[in-house]
Amino acid sequence: MTRKRRRSGKTVPKKSNTAGLTALALCFTRQLQLQAPPAAVVAGEPAGGPSAAAAANLLFSPVAVYATLALLAAGARGGTLQELLDALGGDSRDDLAAFARRAAERALADRSRSRSGGGPAVAFACGAWLDAAWALLPAFRDAAAASYNAEARAVDFGNEPEKAVGEINGCLAAATNNHIDSILDPSSVDTLTTLVLSSGIYFKGRWDAPFAKAHTVVDKFHCLDGSTADVPFMCSVRSQYIAIRNGYKVLKLPYRSPSPAPAPAPAPRRKGSTPSESKPGDGDDDPALKYSMCVFLPDERDGLPGLVEKVASGPGFWHYRLPTSQVPVGNFRLPKFELSVSGSVREVLRDGMGIKSAFVAGEADLADMATKRDEDAAGGTPLYVADVCHKAVIEVNEGGTVANGATASYMLCGASAVMDQPVKVDFVADHPFVFFVIEEVSRAIVFVGRVLDPSISG
């Protein structure tokens, strides 16, 4: 018997899409630092230029941007494709498409109307918008629809850029049921624009244990510049998932997730037949889905810059600092807030993720996306990515009313004077903090954000 010879040489490790998504989330986390103005343009930004933008609330969706970049990879070749594969942690375009499709089915899927009910309401849309001088290739258009549920169409940037912006905003509004009504303004494109990528995401979930609206109080929120704002705070006396760390605390608030669909009754088996096995995914809900919001709160009112530096120090920092058990709380206050942030993430992707050639005319290789309609025409702008526009919207509130009697039962906890009372933990988010919204099983990071002033929606 001939023995097989073992291969020599080192094994090249397989790229990890999850690592690519985590790297993208870490890249956006660094944008939460206050030392430099972020790339995003904030809706409702106060006058004052870059310094004002640097002092604004911020919000990004790494998983939504990942899906948009994977869509771009579906039309890329050569060095442009390789940069995208390296940044996103994929071995091939098919690999990226499969991972993005799974992410869309899990973290980006609307679960609010699922059969078991109660999941987060999510509206997500992405698209690739080419100038009318280019013709989309059928294979790319089909891949956009099949793998990413994305819009891919030509608009007339060259002759009517303002009308093109209206078309893009209209498509995004229609795809998200008007949760996101616009993503571009007329000044964001011009007659030289050839390709714009866009993604928009809206998220609203119900807490696993909603807060009582009757307990919400208006109090002072202390901003970094020393000013204060009167904002409504959600309060609670029930135990919470809180971890006490060196210089900061971490709160984890689970969202209500879809409950597993009941297993169908087995069909009667005829004599001599073999039992059939149910296939994964036969139900309309994934029982493993588990969403949470994780709030990182510095101990000091001006401690946010140092905390963001810690959180951005490594890809696993946020995950390994999350609380694993509930603790009784003393003073608990978390502000209600709603963030709607939009703008360009081109510089973030170029400088933070190494995606460079796609943004350079003459270097971008997007030959599998489109072809020039008139090959004989002289000159013209080559196809390259002019911009990657992103909009994210999130609402954080009480999440409904608590059933009658539930609050009273919490008030009775520990009423016996004989029992030892556990040490209570305070969590008072009355100063700037950062947060993540995650799907815990897959570790997909749906949002990263910072709240500097919850009274401002942007």
Query: Which tokens go with 182?
Result: 């616009």
Supply the CATH number for residue 26's domain.
3.30.497.10
Asked if residue 440 and residue 345 are part of one domain, the reply reads no
Amino acid at 83: E
Determine the pLDDT at residue 187: 85
pTM of the model: 0.82
Cβ 126 vs Cβ 201: under 8 Å: no
Query: Which tokens go with 86?
Result: 């390296």
Q: Which backbone phi and psi does 433 adopt, to 5 degrees?
A: -150, 170
pLDDT per position as a tens digit, 172-214: 898 888 888 889 888 889 988 999 999 999 988 889 999 999 9
Rounded to whole angstroms, how far apart are CA atoms 312 and 244?
19
Asked if residue 97 and residue 222 are part of one domain, the reply reads no
Cβ 73 vs Cβ 82: under 8 Å: no
Asked if residue 84 and residue 48 are part of one domain, the reply reads yes
The pLDDT confidence band at residue 288, using thresholds 50, 70 and 90, is low
- Continuous segment of H or E residues that includes residue 24: helix 17-30
Asked if residue 190 and residue 121 are part of one domain, the reply reads yes
Asked if residue 434 and residue 310 are part of one domain, the reply reads yes
In a domain, 456, yes or no: no
Asked if residue 170 and residue 227 are part of one domain, the reply reads no
Q: Across the chain, what does the average pLDDT equal? A: 81
Asked if residue 382 and residue 320 are part of one domain, the reply reads no
Which residues neighbour 248 within 8 Å (Cβ) at sequence distance 6 or greater? 296, 297, 298, 299, 303, 307, 310
Mean pLDDT on 397-416: 37
Rounded to whole angstroms, how far apart are CA atoms 322 and 245?
10
Asked if residue 296 and residue 379 are part of one domain, the reply reads no
More confident residue, 269 or 405: 269
Determine the pLDDT at residue 50: 34
Cβ 127 vs Cβ 168: under 8 Å: yes
Determine the pLDDT at residue 16: 66
Determine the pLDDT at residue 218: 97
Asked if residue 231 and residue 194 are part of one domain, the reply reads no
Cβ 197 vs Cβ 172: under 8 Å: no
pLDDT per position as a tens digit, 261-273: 555 455 555 555 4
Asked if residue 195 and residue 112 are part of one domain, the reply reads yes
Total structural domains within the chain:
2
In a domain, 277, yes or no: no
Q: Which residue has the tokens 């009308």?
A: 163
Determine the pLDDT at residue 118: 66
pLDDT per position as a tens digit, 70-112: 999 999 999 999 999 999 999 999 888 888 888 777 788 888 8
In a domain, 280, yes or no: no
pLDDT per position as a tens digit, 9-58: 444 445 567 888 889 999 999 999 875 434 443 433 333 333 444 568 99
Q: What 3-state DSSP class applies to 446? A: strand
Mean pLDDT on 129-150: 88
Asked if residue 370 and residue 243 are part of one domain, the reply reads no
Amino acid at 25: A
In a domain, 250, yes or no: yes
Supply the CATH number for residue 319's domain.
2.30.39.10
More confident residue, 418 or 323: 323
Determine the pLDDT at residue 6: 46
In a domain, 167, yes or no: yes
Domain span at residue 425 reads 213-259+285-335+399-414+421-451
In a domain, 267, yes or no: no
Asked if residue 165 and residue 65 are part of one domain, the reply reads yes
